[in-house]
Structure 1
Amino acid sequence: MNCEALVLLPGWQDSRGAKIERAIAVGLGFPVWLYELESTIANATATLRRFQ
């Protein structure tokens, strides 16, 4: 595997492939992050407001 971490997208629990990738990453000791769209949008909106 040629990566440093795994980022899981919303709904990953419904994907057989994503579950396999997560199991492999955890087994190899890679960090696993959950991407949260709502908080990302909120952070981007707050950042844009500072520059207006």
Structure 2
Amino acid sequence: MPLHTAASATLVVVICYWMIRYPPSNPGLFYVLGTALTALVTILVTAPFGE
């Protein structure tokens, strides 16, 4: 697994855990985190795994 894929996967897990454990009181922050999460998942899905 490429390093950037592993890092992205780790970041997705960390963001998910943080959003569940400490829900942001600011809806804007929640939206930004959701957008970042979507972008990371898209990168993970489209990233070539054979590097």
TM-score (normalizing by structure 1): 0.39
TM-score (normalizing by structure 2): 0.40
Query: Which structure carries more strand by proportion?
Result: 1
The higher relative CO (CA closer than 8 Å, separation ≥ 6) is in 2
Structure ID, larger Rg: 1
